[in-house]
């Protein structure tokens, strides 16, 4: 039985990756900053809360990571923990840079010291590329990195720290450069979750309208439960490398909103209001990638259309609301 250590297990990807690794018969140990915070809703919703082992750890404390590695002797280390919101990173730039960069340096250093055979997956982000000229799209792995937010800067620094440790110390480190991937386990401060949960509330007469910022932005959106599968794949090929993970298609946020509302029988014109306060200081206008390298080298197979994605997100949100209500009434 292989052992995987996952930071950020209580987050969206952490929960889905855990479920996937459990299906593959892994022993899954998850790191959280605070065991008492009760933030294991995602694991609970997926029905795996009792199948993973949660441990509290401070990734700023090198000795703490070293102890964890010595105790659990993982075969694979998935580093998913991060302050992951671009919007919040403009409010908390120092905290975002500090956490997202230093945590990665500590983890790599600990693994280098304890056991260089541990394979490492790092979650990098498409945000690292910043505003790319439209005639240069789609983005591939060789694009120049030009981050446009504190979050993007932190992810770029973490990404290059991983490349450096791979080249300098021969560690097995692969980074997934993931484009936006969504699920019902997104936090409420992410726009896709906000749109779908608000639309359902409007339908149930629990909310009057949805407030949004700039809806002309275009993104390459995928389905998180599918994206986590490729994280495992990256550690289970012969050589480490970096891979762009995306669908290759971009859609505007307006299209996302319109389709969700129409699928739920609601008129978007009536229920959506614009709020300038929700605009960011710098916004990526259009971004989409080229998944060719992952599709060929990792045989990554992603076939959901944009409509399939929205249908899944709506269905999952309905199930989540039912689960949440039944939990509250217990
Ligand atoms: P998420 O839902 O926000 O979860 C991240 C987890 O990190 C949290 O559950 C939290 O767990 C932990 N964490 C540690 N330090 C934190 C901090 N300072 N602020 C907030 N949380 C912190 O993220 P995700 O969507 O699963 O994404 C996983 C990884 O992929 C992240 O590194 C993210 O940056 C990257 N990524 C995501 C996307 C996407 O579209 N989802 C795209 C590209 C890259 P505890 O509270 O239990 O410690």
How far is it, in rounded angstroms, from Cα 263 to Cα 259?
Answer: 6
- The number of the ligand 1 atom at minimal distance from the alpha carbon of 178 is 43
Residue 169 three-state SS:
helix
Q: Are residues 21 and 151 in the same domain?
A: yes
With a 6 Å cutoff on the Cβ, whether 84 touches ligand 1 is: yes
Calculate the alpha carbon distances from 293 to 141, 192, 242, 273, 304 in Å: 8, 27, 9, 40, 18
State the catalytic residue, choosing from 78, 151, 165, 227. Answer: 151
Q: Do residue 275 and residue 227 come from a single domain?
A: no
**Side-chain half-sphere of 129: how many Cα atoms within 13 Å?**
23
70 shares its domain with 208: no
The predicted pLDDT at position 284 comes to: 81
Residue 68 shares a structural domain with residue 101: yes
Which of 80, 187, 242, when mutated, tests ligand 1's pocket best, judged by the most ligand atoms within 8 Å of its CB?
80
Give the helix/strand (H/E) hosting 91: helix 86-91
User: pTM of the entire structure?
Assistant: 0.97
Residues 42, 105, single domain; the answer is yes
- Sequence-ordered alpha helix ranges (H) in 170-297: 191-203, 224-235, 253-263, 268-271, 292-297
Quick one: pLDDT at residue 256? 98
Q: What's residue 96's pLDDT?
A: 98
The pLDDT value recorded for residue 13 is: 98
One domain, residues 148 and 78: yes
Tell me: the pLDDT tens digits for 282-330? 778 899 999 999 999 999 999 999 999 999 999 999 999 999 998 888 7
Q: What is the CATH number of the domain that holds 154?
A: 3.40.50.720
Do 81 and 17 fall within a single domain? yes
Mean pLDDT of the residues in the chain? 96
Facing residues of 30 across strands? 6, 54
Residue 56 covered by a domain: yes
Residue bearing the CA closest to ligand 1, atom 25: 12
Q: How does DSSP assign 114-130, residue by residue? A: H-TTSEEEEEEEGGGG-
pLDDT at 330: 76
Number of domains in the chain: 2
Q: Tell me what pLDDT residue 81 has.
A: 98
CATH number of the domain encompassing residue 198: 3.90.25.10
In this structure, the answer to whether residues 74 and 98 fall within a common structural domain is yes
The span from the CA of 141 to the CA of 234, in Å, is 15
Provide the domain limits for residue 273: 191-219+250-286+307-328
Low-confidence ranges of the chain (pLDDT < 50): none
Distance (Å, whole) CA 192 – CA 253: 9
pLDDT of res. 306: 98
Query: What pLDDT does 302 receive?
Result: 95
CB contact at 8 A, 35 and 53 = no
Active site residue: 40, 103, 125, 197, which one? 125
CA 80 to ligand 1 center in whole angstroms? 6
- Which of the following is catalytic: 127, 182, 226, 317? 127
Same structural domain for residues 236 and 280?
no
Q: In the Cβ-directed half-sphere of 243, how many Cα atoms lie within 13 Å?
A: 29
What letter would DSSP give residue 264? T
Domain identity same for 97 and 153: yes
299 located within any domain: no
Query: Which residue's CA lies nearest to atom 11 of ligand 1?
Result: 8
Whether residues 226 and 280 fall in one domain: no
Question: Are 178 and 214 found together in one domain?
Answer: no
């Amino acid at each position: 039985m292989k052992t995987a250590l996952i930071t950020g297990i209580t987050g969206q990807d952490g929960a889905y990756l855990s479920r996937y690794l459990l299906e593959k018969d892994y022993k899954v140990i998850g790191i959280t900053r605070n065991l008492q915070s009760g933030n294991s809703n995602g694991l609970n919703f997926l029905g795996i809360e009792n199948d993973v082992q949660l441990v509290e750890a401070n990734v700023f404390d090198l000795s703490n990571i070293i102890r964890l590695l010595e105790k659990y002797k993982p075969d694979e280390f998935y580093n998913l923990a991060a302050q992951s919101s671009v919007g919040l990173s403009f409010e908390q730039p120092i905290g975002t840079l500090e956490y997202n960069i230093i945590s990665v340096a500590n983890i790599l250093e600990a693994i280098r010291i304890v056991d260089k055979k541990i394979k490492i997956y790092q979650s990098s982000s498409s945000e690292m590329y910043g505003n790319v000229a439209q005639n240069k799209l789609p983005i591939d792995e060789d694009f120049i990195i030009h981050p446009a937010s504190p979050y993007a800067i932190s992810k770029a620094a973490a990404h290059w720290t991983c490349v450096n440790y791979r080249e300098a110390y021969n560690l097995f480190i692969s980074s997934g450069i993931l484009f936006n991937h969504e699920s019902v386990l997104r936090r409420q401060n992410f726009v896709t979750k906000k749109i779908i949960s608000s639309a359902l509330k409007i339908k149930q007469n629990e909310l009057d309208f949805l407030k949004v910022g700039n809806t002309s932005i275009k993104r390459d959106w995928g389905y998180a439960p599918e994206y986590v599968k490729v994280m495992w794949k990256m550690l289970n090929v012969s050589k480490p490398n970096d891979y762009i993970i995306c669908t290759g298609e971009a859609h505007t946020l307006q299209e996302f909103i319109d389709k969700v509302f129409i699928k739920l029988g609601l008129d978007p014109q009536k229920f959506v209001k614009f709020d300038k306060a929700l605009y960011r200081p710098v916004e990526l206008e259009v971004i989409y990638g080229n998944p060719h390298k992952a599709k060929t080298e990792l045989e990554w197979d992603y076939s959901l259309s944009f409509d399939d994605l929205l249908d899944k997100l709506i269905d999952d949100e309905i199930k989540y609301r039912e689960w949440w209500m039944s939990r509250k009434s217990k």
